[in-house]
């Protein structure tokens, strides 16, 4: 059995770790953005939270729901990147191919959230598509390389 | 420290990579199914998207919401498979045990979506249970093997 | 290229596998908790499920929606732990640092669900913050160690 490519001495893997971690932090920050809107506008979806502020529960605040949709879109796309990026490292891509994929995906997902929160189309759609294309490219590279 | 099992020279790991990638592609396709319904029926949940088509936002279209529920169910189950499948490879299962688990889970999840979109019960429920049983078996195998 | 740290002979990795698996099982159980409420109160969000019980669909049952929110919160946080925990193992943390992080996160997430279902604040909020702090610590350790 050969030596593994999944060590930090492999510069491609190291790049993967960096961008995957940045995306993990970015995705986690969405919770705080939701919380900021909830606390700022006093919009709560749990009776016990609303009671602390003497308010009724509400599920239809457009700002809160917008952040939640952006967060859900992250959950639909970022874990797929974490998985496929790891497999992609094992195909021994060129450093340029790997860094292009990892950077493009990371920037596209940050851009997606910014455009989502600023209600900008078609910019949000373009950012979404770039993310999906990177994932599709990595999936194709993995299947093509190993089968 | 022993050599790793997480290399593509390990045929069990290679199988895992294949099925995990297929599931990543399958899950990503759900976004496009949602988009197809949204564009076909002109049902949007963002004001900026609805404005492009001169429509009001709507959150209660049964077809769109059905795809979104199926997608959410994928998010609840497939990342668990990605994690447990990886650990399961490290228990050095027989090739037959591994391929049975990976194939059964993958087929069950595809079947789950098809049955969900066609509103078929108890078929959707059976497919869901098969997926959960595979995950439960792998979790048990991991805990039993290492502790 | 050095030997990998991702083998079960590495006791830190072994700890990671244990807690990550426990969290996978815990998260999967949320589906059954939702199902129990749905079947107990006969609240369904699919026409085909409601038809089996001769009921209308409903999306606003507080107990069902509460479990679903707790489940979604798991999906927002636990996969981030799976990823960052794996990277954290590669920073060769002390056994005590690793076991503190893994245990604290796992206990906090279980506590979060219990407090969510019992409508207890600020306990739910504290449990949530502990989980986020562990993830933030691991992300920082990974970025600091490798860059």
Written as tens digits, the pLDDT of chain A (147 aa) is 356 788 889 999 999 999 999 999 999 999 999 999 999 999 999 999 999 888 888 888 999 999 999 999 999 999 999 999 999 999 999 999 999 999 999 999 999 999 999 999 899 999 999 999 999 999 999 999 988
- What is the model's pLDDT at position A3? 62
A147–B18 C-beta distance less than 8 A: yes
C10–B84 C-beta distance less than 8 A: no
From chain C, the residues in CB contact with B119 under 8 A are: 46-48
- Residues C6-39 have pLDDT tens digits of 888 999 999 999 999 999 999 999 999 999 999 9
Q: Which residues contact C92 (CB under 8 A, 6 or more apart)?
A: C5, C12
DSSP C92: -
pLDDT at B56 over 90: no
A84–B24 C-beta distance less than 8 A: yes
SS3 C45: coil
The overall average pLDDT reported for chain A is 94
Cα-trace Rg, chain A: 19
- What is the model's pLDDT at position B1? 39
Q: What is the pTM of this model?
A: 0.96
Sign of the alpha-carbon dihedral angle for C67, C73, C76, C77 = negative
Please state, in angstroms and rounded to a whole number, the distance separating the CA atoms of residues B66 and B61.
8
From chain A, the residues in CB contact with B73 under 8 A are: none
Please state, in angstroms and rounded to a whole number, the distance separating the CA atoms of residues C131 and B7.
32
- What is the model's pLDDT at position B96? 96
- Residues C82-109 have pLDDT tens digits of 999 999 999 999 999 999 999 999 999 9
Please state, in angstroms and rounded to a whole number, the distance separating the CA atoms of residues A128 and A113.
9
- Joined tokens for residue C114: 């219990």
ipTM surpassing 0.85, yes or no?
A: yes
User: How many other CB atoms are found less than 10 A from the CB of residue B39?
Assistant: 12
């Amino acid at each position: 059995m050969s030596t593994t490519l999944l060590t930090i001495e492999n510069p491609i893997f190291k790049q993967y770790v960096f961008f995957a971690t940045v995306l993990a932090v970015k995705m986690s920050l969405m919770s705080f953005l939701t919380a900021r809107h909830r606390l700022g506008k006093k919009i709560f979806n749990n009776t016990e939270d609303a009671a602390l502020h003497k308010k009724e529960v509400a599920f239809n605040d457009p700002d809160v729901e917008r952040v939640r949709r952006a967060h859900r879109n992250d959950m639909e796309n970022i874990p797929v990147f974490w998985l496929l990026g790891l497999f992609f490292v094992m195909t021994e891509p060129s450093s340029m191919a790997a860094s292009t994929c990892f950077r493009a995906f990371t920037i596209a997902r940050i851009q997606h959230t910014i455009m989502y929160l600023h209600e900008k189309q078609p910019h949000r759609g373009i950012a979404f598509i770039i993310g999906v294309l990177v994932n599709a490219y990595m999936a194709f590279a993995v299947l093509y390389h190993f089968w």
